[in-house]
């Protein structure tokens, strides 16, 4: 049965959305959630919420959908999760592969939902996660109904799809904008939403200045099509919003999802209901997002990035815990135990109390039985039907009557909660990743142009060449150059792989497959899945920074799956790197870091499309210019940080960290810039001579090497 899934930023919001008709909620505890600034649940509230949900046949999914560091997994994760798992937690929503692997081993019966932060955009990534144990996949918001349908036909895992709420400009899990420009990482639940600020393109001011701010998603008109495509769970976004908003939105989606499930031929949303959705809150109206397969400027707010209501503030609504109806049957027969039977739905319990005696003076009355035996005020139950069979002239003490009632209530609670309260394995999961001593780390250069490639090949200290996918699309000259080098070569897969581009990507990769010493670089789970389909052995695959080996546990999880080389994520600082097992990882020491991958096209949205891949620049309110690289053949944009990362000046510290290799990444650097960076690397890492980076570079950033993220 399809599920309506609602946000719960607080206990009160949970009550509101359950009353509105949600089948399940997703929420965060006090640690590791993607909404660190929401009210969230403390342990007492969350345990209470689990009992309440299960008594009402609802489900609760806990979000641990951020990236965790070594100490957090080693010292905190088990203790944090254990009471919730023991109390019947229905599923865990996960981004981090280290968390995924840890939970799979420590709590093997707990359902794992792959967060949208894992950015699954094709059947390939979905299959990989399903094979690894994910019971549900929260699909990327950038997919069309046809793409969802294709995934549904090829995997058995449940598919969760965003139905209503805010849209990010970037593919989820592929955004470092807030992290790199302000230190608040979306991967750690602290996104500052810089995409809602004003920008201009190529220095030209527009009336439409909010170029990265998308309208809110609303799919209420296409619920039947979403069902047909294979959507199992319809997700409402909004843990940071008010409970009144959540109640109103969920109520309307409950109404129309039920109508859609009836398969009516004339499914229509009433104008007054659509107006209610708008009144609840929107950004310049709504969009159906990417579901219809149309990507255009109509999805962008341009002039009003904030969330607005169309009507005056409504009075605050109060929501209380709903009582469960019970039927009571009580028997009081002289010389026999008193009997109380409680029935709630299809569950029933029968308990026996003390023996009923004949009264010597004042006999028990039905009124007293009702007052003492059916007083369910502070329990989760309310009496809807009461039968009392009472012999004449019986005695049964008030104390015994209360004890009988308490025992019956307790047993009914246990019966109703019996299924969720399965106790999971309580094993200790140790990190067990072998360490290698890298006496001579290799040096790799990622290139995006033929000129960069030719200049890099001339340097004897360059051991490997990594070729950007856009360059692979080029002509025979690249193939000729790569065929005549004895350096190792790795082909970089695109940052985004979708169903409709998969065949072309495979064809391009296959063009180079005959080369010797060929390796591949996958940046996400869809890339991993594609390389598995191509039969590439895992020891020839380098996992790029986008697969976020934040911890040794993440590397260990990938290691068990057969992968042997990783790339250090960009958000770890010097101290954290010193406590990371680096001997299987490459470290990027120079390059413009990608801060966004987006299905939107800035040139198209601003009427500047010339149907080529010419680079443009996005300027923020501080006059910082971020390079935007369109990938027209694959239909996405990459936005880069305004300054290149440069850690070459920290060569001595980095060399002490035992990395497997170092990497320089070039995007648009000129011949002169490439030569200068290669010279700088050679002096610092090989000749061990100190140069001043301020002389070598016009501007640069240390990234997170010195600061890190919270």
Measured distance CA(352)–CA(569) in Å, rounded = 62
| 684-698 CB burial, b ≥16 within 10 A, e <16 | bbeeeeebebeebbe
The reply to whether 377 and 521 lie within a common domain is no
Q: Which residue has the tokens 């708008």?
A: 278
Measured distance CA(209)–CA(302) in Å, rounded = 6
Backbone phi and psi for residue 481, each to the nearest 5 degrees, phi listed first: -65, -45
- pLDDT category at 314 given cuts 50, 70, 90 is low
Ramachandran region of residue 369, left (φ > 0), alpha (ψ -120 to 50) or beta? alpha
Non-local CB neighbours of 707 within 8 Å, separated by 6+ positions: 183, 573
- Is 185 inside any structural domain? no
Q: Which pLDDT does position 283 carry in this prediction?
A: 81
With a cut of 70, say whether residue 429 has pLDDT above it.
no
The reply to whether 531 and 412 lie within a common domain is no
Closest CA to 601 of 639, 568, 563, 570: 639
Measured distance CA(338)–CA(390) in Å, rounded = 10
Of 200-204, 323-327, 359-363, 685-689, the least confident: 200-204
Rounded to 5 degrees, what angle do the CA atoms 202, 192, 666 make? 45
- pLDDT category at 642 given cuts 50, 70, 90 is very high
Long-range contacts of 130-136 (CB under 8 A, 24+ apart): 130/155, 130/156, 130/157, 132/100, 132/104, 132/561, 133/100, 133/104, 134/100, 135/91, 135/111, 136/91, 136/111, 136/112, 136/160, 136/232, 136/233
- Is 297 inside any structural domain? no
Measured distance CA(66)–CA(548) in Å, rounded = 11
End-to-end CA distance of the chain: 40
The reply to whether 505 and 650 lie within a common domain is yes
- Mean pLDDT confidence for 53-62: 96
Q: Which pLDDT does position 631 carry in this prediction?
A: 95
- Mean pLDDT confidence for 349-357: 95
- Mean pLDDT confidence for 169-193: 94
Q: Which residue has the tokens 């012999």?
A: 391
- pLDDT category at 484 given cuts 50, 70, 90 is very high
- pLDDT category at 55 given cuts 50, 70, 90 is very high
The reply to whether 143 and 46 lie within a common domain is yes
Range of 398-412, 580-594, 619-633 with top mean pLDDT: 580-594
Last residue of some domain: 247, 268, 289? 268
- Is 488 inside any structural domain? yes
- Mean pLDDT confidence for 150-175: 97
The Cα-based distances of 144 to 176, 188, 479, 593 in angstroms read 25, 28, 35, 28
Query: How many angstroms from the chain centroid is the CA of residue 156?
Result: 20
Non-local CB neighbours of 390 within 8 Å, separated by 6+ positions: 331, 332, 364, 366, 369
Per-residue pLDDT reduced to its tens digit, 330-340: 999 999 999 99
Measured distance CA(238)–CA(246) in Å, rounded = 7
- Is 201 inside any structural domain? no
Last residue of some domain: 268, 283, 298? 268
Percentage of the residues of the chain whose pLDDT score is greater than 90: 79
Per-residue pLDDT reduced to its tens digit, 536-592: 999 999 999 999 999 999 999 999 999 999 999 999 999 999 999 999 999 999 999
Question: What 8-state DSSP symbol labels residue 685?
Answer: I
Measured distance CA(545)–CA(587) in Å, rounded = 9
The reply to whether 255 and 126 lie within a common domain is yes
- Is 432 inside any structural domain? no
The reply to whether 400 and 490 lie within a common domain is no
Measured distance CA(403)–CA(572) in Å, rounded = 58
Of 311-325, 369-383, 610-624, the least confident: 311-325
Query: How many angstroms from the chain centroid is the CA of residue 561?
Result: 21
What mean pLDDT value characterizes the chain? 92
The reply to whether 449 and 548 lie within a common domain is yes
What is the Cα Rg of the chain in Å?
Answer: 30
With a cut of 70, say whether residue 206 has pLDDT above it.
no
473 in Cβ contact with 450 (< 8 Å): no
Percentage of the residues of the chain whose pLDDT score is greater than 70: 96
The reply to whether 235 and 156 lie within a common domain is yes
The reply to whether 469 and 514 lie within a common domain is yes
- Is 293 inside any structural domain? no
The reply to whether 245 and 331 lie within a common domain is no
- Is 392 inside any structural domain? yes
Backbone phi and psi for residue 328, each to the nearest 5 degrees, phi listed first: -115, 135
With a cut of 60, say whether residue 421 has pLDDT above it.
no
Q: Which pLDDT does position 39 carry in this prediction?
A: 80
Q: Which residues pair with 92 in a beta bridge?
A: 62, 112
Measured distance CA(290)–CA(175) in Å, rounded = 18
Directed axis angle between helix 97-106 and helix 552-560, to 10°? 70
Of 540-544, 599-603, 666-670, the least confident: 599-603
Domain range for 66 is 3-167+217-268
- pLDDT category at 24 given cuts 50, 70, 90 is very high
Question: What 8-state DSSP symbol labels residue 77?
Answer: I
Q: Which pLDDT does position 307 carry in this prediction?
A: 60
- pLDDT category at 115 given cuts 50, 70, 90 is very high
CATH of residue 81's domain is 3.20.20.70
- Mean pLDDT confidence for 658-678: 97
Last residue of some domain: 229, 246, 268? 268
Q: Which residue has the tokens 């039907």?
A: 385
The runs of H, that is alpha helices, within 143-270 are 145-154, 177-182, 223-229, 243-261
Element (H, E) at 204: none
Q: Which pLDDT does position 295 carry in this prediction?
A: 87
Pick 375 or 675 by higher pLDDT. 675
Concatenated DSSP letters of 521-546: EE-SHHHHHHHHHTT--GGGEEE-GG
Q: Which pLDDT does position 289 carry in this prediction?
A: 95
With a cut of 90, say whether residue 225 has pLDDT above it.
yes
Per-residue pLDDT reduced to its tens digit, 287-311: 999 999 988 888 998 887 766 655 4
Element (H, E) at 117: none
- Per the structure, the count of domains in the chain is 3
Pick 710 or 87 by higher pLDDT. 87
- Mean pLDDT confidence for 251-257: 98
- Is 329 inside any structural domain? yes
591 in Cβ contact with 562 (< 8 Å): no
The reply to whether 412 and 447 lie within a common domain is no
- pLDDT category at 312 given cuts 50, 70, 90 is low
The reply to whether 242 and 390 lie within a common domain is no
- Mean pLDDT confidence for 422-426: 55
């Amino acid at each position: 049965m399809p599920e309506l899934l609602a946000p719960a930023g607080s206990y009160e919001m949970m009550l509101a959305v359950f009353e509105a008709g949600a089948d399940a909620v997703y929420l965060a505890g006090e640690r590791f959630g993607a909404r660190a600034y929401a009210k969230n649940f403390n342990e007492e509230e969350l345990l209470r919420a689990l009992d309440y949900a299960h008594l009402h046949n609802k489900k609760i999914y806990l979000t641990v959908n951020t990236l965790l560091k070594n100490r957090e997994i080693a010292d905190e994760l088990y203790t944090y999760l254990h009471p919730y798992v023991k109390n019947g937690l229905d599923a865990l929503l996960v981004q981090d592969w280290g968390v995924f692997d840890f939970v799979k081993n420590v709590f093997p019966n707990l359902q794992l939902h792959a967060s949208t932060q894992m950015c699954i955009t094709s059947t390939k990534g979905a299959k990989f996660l399903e094979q690894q144990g994910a019971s549900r996949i929260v699909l990327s918001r950038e997919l069309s109904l046809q793409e969802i349908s294709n995934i549904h036909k090829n995997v058995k895992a449940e598919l969760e799809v965003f139905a209503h709420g805010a849209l990010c400009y970037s593919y989820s899990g592929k955004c470092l904008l807030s992290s790199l420009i302000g230190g608040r990482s979306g991967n750690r639940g602290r996104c500052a939403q810089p995409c809602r600020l004003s920008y201009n393109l190529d220095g030209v001011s527009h009336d439409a200045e909010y170029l990265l701010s998308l309208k809110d998603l609303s799919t209420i008109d296409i619920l039947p099509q979403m069902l047909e495509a294979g959507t199992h769970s319809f997700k409402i976004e909004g843990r940071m919003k008010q409970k009144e908003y959540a109640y109103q939105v969920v109520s309307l989606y409950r109404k129309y999802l039920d109508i859609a499930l009836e398969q009516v031929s004339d499914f229509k949303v009433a104008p007054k209901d659509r107006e209610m959705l708008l009144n609840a809150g929107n950004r310049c109206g709504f969009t159906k997002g990417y579901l219809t397969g149309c990507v255009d400027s109509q999805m962008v707010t341009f002039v009003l990035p904030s969330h607005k209501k169309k009507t005056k503030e409504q009075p605050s609504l109060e929501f209380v815990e709903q009582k469960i109806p019970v039927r009571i049957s009580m028997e009081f027969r002289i010389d026999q135990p008193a009997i109380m039977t409680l029935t709630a739905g299809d569950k029933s319990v029968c308990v026996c109390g003390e023996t009923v005696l004949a009264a010597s003076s004042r006999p028990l009355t039905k009124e007293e039985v009702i007052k003492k035996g059916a007083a369910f005020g502070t329990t989760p139950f309310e009496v809807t039907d009461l039968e009392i069979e009472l012999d004449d002239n019986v005695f049964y003490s008030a104390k015994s009557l209360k004890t009988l009632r308490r025992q019956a209530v307790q047993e009914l609670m246990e019966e109703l909660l019996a299924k969720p309260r399965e106790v999971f394995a309580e094993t200790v999961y140790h990190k067990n990743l072998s360490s290698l001593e890298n006496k001579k780390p290799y040096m790799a250069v990622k290139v995006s142009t033929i000129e960069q490639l030719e200049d890099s090949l001339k340097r004897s200290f360059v051991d490997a060449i990594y070729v950007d996918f856009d360059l692979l699309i080029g002509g025979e000259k690249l193939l000729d150059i790569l065929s005549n080098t004895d350096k190792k070569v790795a082909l970089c897969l695109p940052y985004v792989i979708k169903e409709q581009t998969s065949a072309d990507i495979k064809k391009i990769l296959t063009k180079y497959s005959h080369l010797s010493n060929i390796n591949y670089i996958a940046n996400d789970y869809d890339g991993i899945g594609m390389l598995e389909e191509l039969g590439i052995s895992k020891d020839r695959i380098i996992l790029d920074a986008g697969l976020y080996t934040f911890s040794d546990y993440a590397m260990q999880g990938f290691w068990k799956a057969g992968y042997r080389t990783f790339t250090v994520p960009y958000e770890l600082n010097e101290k954290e790197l010193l406590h990371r097992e680096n001997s299987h990882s490459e470290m990027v020491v120079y390059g413009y870091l990608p801060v966004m991958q987006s299905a939107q096209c800035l040139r198209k949205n601003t009427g500047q499309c010339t149907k080529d891949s010419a680079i443009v620049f996005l300027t923020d309110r501080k006059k910082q210019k971020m390079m935007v690289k369109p990938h027209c053949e694959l239909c996405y944009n990459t936005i880069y940080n305004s300054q290149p990362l440069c850690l070459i000046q920290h060569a001595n510290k980095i060399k002490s960290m035992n990395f497997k290799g170092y990497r320089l990444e070039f995007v648009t650097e000129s011949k002169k810039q490439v030569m200068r960076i290669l010279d700088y690397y050679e002096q610092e890492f090989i000749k061990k001579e100190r140069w001043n980076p301020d002389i070598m570079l016009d501007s640069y950033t240390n990234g997170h090497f010195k600061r890190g993220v919270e």
